[in-house]
Chain A
Amino acid sequence: MTVKKKILPLLVFAVSLLHCTAAVQAAPVLAGHTGLAAQTLDGDAVRAVLLGKKITLGGIRVVIVVARAGDAQNAFLQSYTGMTTSQFLTYWRRLFMTGGGSAPRIVDTEADARKLAAEIPGAIVILDSSNAAGLTALAAN
């Protein structure tokens, strides 16, 4: 009984620690192709780039890469644009189909998005910060 009483708080502490670590790891980040390494974006610039109002970064045409689903991406988009991923894609479809911008590249998973963003000059992508290896961080949520 005494042992259980001592172990329980330790378990709670350990679970809390894990939870906190997970929360840190789950932080969404806007990352880009390594050619954008010199760029750091503030909130206004992030919003402008995501909504197609700012089309180049450092003279390079921005290519937005979007995963069909992704919690980090959804949270980031909601925070900066007020849109869900679905609404964001609808916004871009409207822009693209009316001659107002170049459509984002759409892939299935966050891993596919990271891979594609690493290949295309000017590509930007929203990822979990722990999954952004090989890319340069442009802005955090």
Chain B
Amino acid sequence: MVWRWLTRSAKGLACGLACGPMGIPARGADNPPGLSDSLQSLWKQATTTVQFGGFVSQGFLANTGRNNYLGQTSKGTFDFREYALNASYAIGQFRFGMQVFGQKLGPYGDDNLEIDWATADYQPAQWFGLRAGRVKMPRGLYNEALDLDSVRPFVLLPQSVYDARLRDFNAAFNGAMVFGNVGLKKLGSLDYRVFYGDIPIATDSGASDYFNNDFPSNSLDFKMDAVIGGSLFWNAPLTGLRMGYSFSSFENLRSTREATLQLSALAPLASVVGTKQTDHYGRHLFSIEYTKGNWVLAAEAGREQAFYHVGTRGVHIADTDFTSNYFYLSAARRINPWLELGAYYSYSRDTESLIGTTTIPMGKSPALTQADLALSARFDINEHLTFKLEGHYMDGAGKIFDTVQNPQPVADRDAAWFLFAAKLTYSF
């Protein structure tokens, strides 16, 4: 009897999937006989709230000139894909879920599967909730949805704010977050999030190359003590308007790296193991978005700042002052059910200056900028399949990584170039 019930229930769950454009809720299995009404009700609720979702994206990137921006883009590359699968279950004030994710973006990701997010939520009130586990990082308007092609017209989000190579910095943290929505009556409402945790960062990640971009070197380890941060967004009384501020800080961010140096004109090349460390890597971002009819308008502006201490074998060599300022303006319009158009202008300016003197050449000078004018077209072939085309005019030699594996000194970079992107996404 019990076995028959289990078998029927399993069949109901495994075979009775009903597909929608967003997630696949499991269809409720038949009510098992012999259980009380309350247990039957609980069973029905459980089997109708397990949900599955996922996506697979494959893209192509190519640019004019010599710059290799997001991989070997000067030659054209198909090393540009993401895929994920998630499952979640909610009951009462609790929700549990997990997503597995993989990607290839030029030299990063390498199609290794990782846990993108895995959370347990408890939300006893509208104004208070607690989320713990591996949590997507709240930052600005779109950071939590970095990989979700199906929710935007753009192939690449504005890279000044959402640099695709910095996924290790941006995607998620291991820790806990308090969140909620506080009503302000006629003044709208406030969404708040405060979090604390840690971010494990791979030494072969884009975040590592970004951190070590002041001097081509191999990262031997890359760590932080903690990440702290939060966001506060005001949902204005004008329907569709929201604006907010996000902050995060990587505490005691540090890397041990190995570089080949010529310490003086007469000395031979030598391998030197050094350290680069900052007490706080601070990130500030102001955001505004307005949705009206088929239009979505957005703008964000931010600043990142850190004082780095550089040394070797416990000996202090130099300090550098790093600052990055950036912003973008974007507009998107749904033209009809199968076409959405979008455009943005994105700008970033990075400066790193040496404090004091040293024989080691460090600190990029002058400031490196990147201006990016992008036009996008999104074609919704059906409710699951999306194809996008995008063109970028890039002005400036900034945001190009100069690594040991792919040296791109500033003098060798093109300052004006075109980038083309295409992407096909299947989501369910």
Binding site for B on A (CB under 8 A): 44, 47-48, 53-56, 59-61, 63, 68, 79-84, 86-87, 89-90, 92-94, 96-107, 120-121
Contact check, A103 vs B189: say whether CB atoms are below 8 A apart. Answer: no
The CA of A101 and the CA of B22, in the complex, are separated in Å by 12
A94 and B151 in contact (CB under 8 A), knowing A44-B189, A86-B334?
yes
Interfacial chain A residues near B339, Cβ < 8 Å? none
> B192 CB to closest chain A CB, in angstroms?
11
Give every chain B residue within 8 A of A83 (Cβ-Cβ).
240, 291
Contact with A along B231-244 (1 / 0, CB 8 A): 00000000110000
CA of A59 to CA of B239 in the docked complex: distance in angstroms?
Answer: 28
| Contact in complex: B148, A102 (CB < 8 Å) | no
Q: Nearest chain B CB to A61's CB is how many angstroms away?
A: 6
| Residues of chain A with a CB closer than 8 A to B90's CB | 55, 61, 102
Interface assignment of B12: CB less than 8 Å from any CB of chain A: no
Query: Contact check: which of B49, B126, B292 meets A54 at CB < 8 Å?
Result: B126
Pick from B23, B118, B135, B291: contact of A96, CB below 8 A: B23
Considering only CB atoms, which chain B residue lies closest to A103 in the complex? B23
Task: Report which of A48, A60, A93 forms a contact with B22, defined as CB distance below 8 A.
Answer: A93
Of A60, A89, A93, the contact of B148 (CB 8 Å cutoff): A93
- Give chain B residues whose Cβ lies under 8 Å from the Cβ of A120: 48
Residues of A within 8 A of B144 (CB): 94, 98, 100
**Chain B, residue nearest A93 (CB):** B22
Tell whether B356 is near chain A: CB-to-CB under 8 Å.
Answer: no
**A83–chain B nearest beta-carbon distance, Å:** 6
Residue B324, interface by CB 8 Å = no
CA distance A80 to B97 in the complex (A): 29
Q: B interface vs A, CB < 8 Å?
A: 20-23, 25, 41, 44-45, 48-49, 51, 53, 55, 84, 86, 88, 90-93, 95, 97, 99, 117-119, 121, 123, 126, 131, 135-136, 144-145, 148, 150-151, 181, 183, 185, 189, 191, 239-240, 291-294, 296, 334, 337, 427
For A81, the chain B residues whose CB sits under 8 A away are 239-240
When chains A and B are docked, how far (Å) is the Cα of A60 from the Cα of B136?
26
In the bound complex, do residue A82 and residue B291 qualify as a contact, i.e. CB atoms below 8 Å apart? yes
- Taking a contact as CB atoms under 8 Å apart, the answer to whether B86 and A97 are in contact is yes
| A82 contact from B48, B148, B240, Cβ within 8 A | B240
Contacts of A101 in B (CB 8 A): 95
The interface residues of chain B lying within 8 Å CB-to-CB of A104 are: 22
Q: Is the CB of B136 within 8 A of A96?
A: no
Q: Are B20 and A98 in contact, CB atoms less than 8 angstroms apart?
A: no
Using Cβ atoms and an 8 Å threshold, which residues of chain B touch A82?
239-240, 291-292
Bound-state CA distance A59–B92 (Å) is 7
* A48–B183 CB distance below 8 A: yes
What are 12 contact pairs spanning A and B, CB under 8 A? A48-B181, A54-B181, A55-B123, A79-B239, A87-B296, A93-B151, A93-B427, A94-B145, A96-B22, A100-B136, A106-B22, A120-B48
Shortest CB-to-CB span from A104 to chain B, Å, is: 7
Contact, CB under 8 Å: B148 / A98: yes
Note all chain B residues with C-beta closer than 8 A to A99. 86, 88, 97, 99, 117-119, 121, 131, 135-136
Do the beta carbons of A53 and B181 come within 8 Å of each other?
yes
Please state if A92 and B22 are interface contacts (CB–CB under 8 Å): yes
Separation in Å of the B234 CB from the closest CB of chain A? Answer: 14
A35 nearest CB neighbor, chain B only: B41
Q: Which chain B residue shows the least CB distance to A81? A: B239
Most buried by B among A59, A80, A87, A97: A97
- Please pick, from A61, A80, A87, A93, the residue contacting B92 in the complex, using a CB distance under 8 A: A61
Select B20's contact among A84, A106, A121, beta carbons within 8 Å. Answer: A106
Distance in angstroms from B367 CB to nearest chain A CB is 34
Least CB distance, B231 to chain A, in whole angstroms: 13
Complex formed: what's the CA distance from A82 to B240 in Å? 5
With CB as the reference atom, state the residue of chain B lying closest to A108.
B20
A130 smallest CB distance to B (angstroms): 26
Please name all residues of chain A whose beta carbon is closer than 8 Å to the beta carbon of B131 when the two chains form the complex.
99
In order of increasing CB-CB distance, the 10 nearest A-B pairs are A82-B240, A82-B239, A106-B20, A53-B181, A103-B23, A98-B144, A99-B117, A102-B90, A54-B126, A94-B145
CB distance from A112 to the nearest CB of B (A): 11
Which residue from chain A places its CB closest to the CB of B337 in the assembled complex?
Answer: A86
Q: What is the distance, in angstroms, from B172's C-beta to the closest C-beta of chain A?
A: 9
B49 pairs with A98, CB closer than 8 A = no
Min CB distance, B148 to chain A, in Å? 6
Evaluate contact between B51 and A102: CB separation under 8 angstroms: yes
